[in-house]
Amino acid sequence: MKTKTILGSLAIGLMTTSFTALAEPPFGDEADVAFAKALWGTLQEHGLVGENRTMSAPYAGRHPHGAFLDTMDRQEFSVEDATGPVIVKRNYGGEDLSKEAVWNDPDQYLGAVTVMFKREGYDPDNHDWFWAKYLPDGSLDTNPEGRPLAGRVAKGMEQGCIACHATAPGDDMVFAHDRFQ
Ligand code: HEC
């Protein structure tokens, strides 16, 4: 009886530990949020996000990104102590959307800015991408639980940037190389 109780509480103890581990998502912690902030700031300095950004020709998008997209990349991009390629995608949505409407007034239709930045050694299982989803003002979008979408989103989970981008052709989790400018 006694042994059983001890084993029982051990099992509960172990379960609690693994639940705690699961409860902490692999993204959106303080360090991820700070890095996402630095990333946005640097993108802004390079005219890739924010008011004075340059834009490429919008094209019809694919789910779950916007109805129209415009995507730009830079091969050598430095944020804090990391240097690597960055891909910035602007996601447009709204009523009666057309390429011309987006081109003429991008701010009216911009719903989100999704970014992939390669940080060497950050997540070797997933080609070292740092993922972030920003709202047009540069604040981070969140998941339904309020967790900021920045970092390894959502490593080990069935849905999210990583799970979906893992299905991209090629071997770097990137879908549309041909679209970048
Ligand atoms: C259900 C699938 C799916 C999910 C989830 C998803 N994406 Fe994508 N993503 C795509 C597809 C498909 C494209 C290609 C769109 C196109 O250009 O036609 C794409 C394109 C991109 C691109 C341009 C580079 C490329 O792969 O072509 C970036 C950057 C990006 N996504 C970031 C993100 C981020 C950040 C998240 C999570 C917040 C995310 N994506 C979640 C499917 C997904």
Q: What is the total count of domains within the chain?
A: 1
Which of 165, 167, 172, 178 for a ligand 1 pocket mutation test, highest count of atoms within 8 Å of Cβ? 165
Nearest to 66 by CA among 89, 87, 48: 89
pLDDT of residue 10: 47
* Domain that includes residue 85, residue range: 27-179
Asked if residues 129 and 118 have their Cβ atoms less than 8 Å apart, the reply is yes
Q: Is residue 139 part of a domain?
A: yes
With H, G, I as helix, E, B as strand and everything else as coil, classify residue 18.
helix
pLDDT in tens, 88-106: 999 999 888 899 999 999 9
Instruction: Kindly state whether residue 114 falls inside one of the protein's structural domains.
Output: yes
In order of 12, 85, 134, 161, 164, the CA distances from 178 in angstroms are 52, 15, 23, 20, 19
pLDDT given at position 174: 97
- Identify the residues whose C-beta falls under 6 Å from ligand 1: 61-62, 64-65, 69, 71, 87, 89, 114-116, 131-133, 149, 153, 160-161, 164-165, 168, 174-176, 179
- Ligand 1 geometric centre to CA of 155 (Å): 15
Looking from the CA of residue 176, the nearest atom of ligand 1 is 27
Q: Is residue 2 part of a domain?
A: no
User: What pLDDT was estimated at residue 180?
Assistant: 85
Determine, yes or no, domain membership for 46: yes
Q: Are 127 and 173 in contact (CB under 8 A)?
A: yes
pLDDT digit string (tens) for 109-127? 999 999 999 999 999 999 9
Token duo for residue 172: 């770097």
| Structure confidence at residue 112 (pLDDT) | 97
Could you tell me if residue 171 is inside a domain? yes
Q: How far is the CA of 58 from the centre of ligand 1 (A)?
A: 15
Query: Which parts of the chain have pLDDT scores under 50?
Result: 1-2, 6-7, 10-18
In a domain, 17, yes or no: no
**CATH number (domain holding residue 117):** 3.50.70
CA dist list (Å): 59 to 48, 68, 136: 17, 5, 19
Distance CA 14, CA 19 (A): 9
Dmax (CA) for the chain in angstroms is 76
Q: Which atom of ligand 1 is nearest to the CA of 71?
A: 23
- Closest residue to atom 32 of ligand 1, CA basis: 114
